[in-house]
Amino acid sequence: MNAGPDLPAILAGRERITAHIHRTPVMTCRSLDEMANARIFFKCENLQRTGSFKMRGASNAIFSLSEKDAAFGVVTHSSGNHAAAIACAARLRGIPAWVVMPENSSRAKLAAVEGYGGYVTLCAPTLEARESTANKLVAGSGATLIHPYNDDRIIAGQATAAVELLEEITELDMVIAPVSGGGLLSGTAIAAKSMRPAIRVVGGEPKNADDAFRSLESGEIEPAAAGKTMADGLRATLCERTFAIIRERVDEIATVTEEEILQAMRAVWERMKIIIEPSSAVAVAPLLTRRVRAEGMRVGVILSGGNLDLDHLPFGAPPH
């Protein structure tokens, strides 16, 4: 089984993408430290180009292509942040990007992909439909398929966020990242354990989409949960590649409820004055609820993104 990219591949990816991404800030918040009884360092990928960490992996994959392969463009399937990142990175390289999106994708996300120059093809809202539609586009165009997470180039690119965090904050005891298909958490774990072997790596996951938690418990990839979650960026399931990395290098998956996600998201908005999406809050909630034992520790948190529909915020109306 592929063990994923090593640290040299990740560092090479960083050199490749430096001109195309932001080096996002690391922020702190005393009031959130007090809530968690820990010292928290937030890597703010919500301030990344296209609004999420996905720009890292997309840039690494697209700028890794040979000139010959790049000329035919790229194809991907995604309902959200990866779709926008692929469209943006392809535009930066000057090549076409065909993006397969489920027909129930939000209008805001569709508009974002098209705004970056991506050619959107809608399909039924199933993984099978997404993959079959993408494969047809590849067959018809000769373009390169770039999977949202089952790709070492993507994993290496996502890992560069953790590299930057650990270079800036050198004495971390723990790092937490959200988990969906596992690209970010896999890359974070490889980078963190390579740079600081004693560090504890934790994945945050919604209880309503807890397939990674169940997969580590059972020792095999479990199907997606049937429940709905506001963390709509975390509904993918692990693949063999990311599952193998997570089994080897991740210490714990912490699950949180929908209410805990909402409260963590609100706490960051209110206390830090920055916008994060629910998927980012899934990495914050285990600390604020003390679900993860981090008392007195120095903890890095990857705030994965800040994209959400501002016309449909989840907080509800304030009391009169």
pLDDT of residue 289: 97
What the block records as the tokens of 310 is: 């501002």
Whether domain 7-52+152-303 has CATH 3.40.50.360: no
Q: Does the CA dihedral 289-294-297-301 come out positive or negative?
A: negative
pLDDT of residue 13: 98
Q: Does the CA dihedral 201-25-92-97 come out positive or negative?
A: positive
- Pick the catalytic residue: 59, 64, 78, 79? 79
pLDDT of residue 314: 86
**Per-residue three-class SS string for the chain:** CCCCCCHHHHHHHHHHHHHHCCCCCEECCHHHHHHHCCEEEEEEHHHCHHHECHHHHHHHHHHHCCHHHHCCCEEEECCCHHHHHHHHHHHHHCCCEEEEEECCCCHHHHHHHHHCCCEEEEECCCHHHHHHHHHHHHHHHCCEECCCCCCHHHHHHHHHHHHHHHHHCCCCCEEEEECCCCHHHHHHHHHHHHHCCCCEEEEEEEHHHCHHHHHHHHCCCCCCCCCCCCCHHHCCCCCHHHHHHHHHHCCEEEEECHHHHHHHHHHHHHHHCCCCCHHHHHHHHHHHCCCCCCCCCEEEEEECECCCCCCCCCCCCCCC
pLDDT of residue 320: 44
Condensed to tens digits (0 to 9), the pLDDT of residues 152-164 reads 999 999 999 999 9
7-52+152-303 shares its CATH topology with 55-145: yes
Q: Give the domain ranges of the chain.
A: 7-52+152-303, 55-145
pLDDT of residue 106: 80
Q: Does the CA dihedral 67-73-77-81 come out positive or negative?
A: positive
40 strand-pairing partners: 299
For 209, half-sphere exposure in the C-beta direction (CA atoms, 13 angstrom radius) is: 25
**CA distances in angstroms from 312 to 107, 234, 271, 308, 317, listed in the order given:** 12, 18, 21, 8, 11
Contacts of 239 (CB under 8 A, 6+ apart): 149, 150, 181, 182, 221
121 strand-pairing partners: 100
**CA distances in angstroms from 131 to 66, 196, 265, listed in the order given:** 24, 37, 32
pLDDT of residue 233: 83
Q: Is-contact 203 187, C-beta < 8 A?
A: no
Distance CA 210, CA 151 (A): 22
> Model's pTM, two decimal places?
0.95
Q: Smallest Cα–Cα separation from 37: which of 292, 224, 278, 210?
A: 292
Instruction: For domain 55-145, give the fold.
Output: Rossmann fold (3.40.50)
**CA distances in angstroms from 306 to 101, 169, 257, listed in the order given:** 20, 22, 20
- Pick the catalytic residue: 54, 64, 78, 215? 54
> Residue 79 catalytic?
yes
For the chain, residues with pLDDT lower than 50 are: 319-320
What the block records as the tokens of 320 is: 């009169």
What is the b/e burial string over 6-19, where b = at least 16 CB atoms within 10 angstroms of the residue's CB?
eeebbbebbebbee
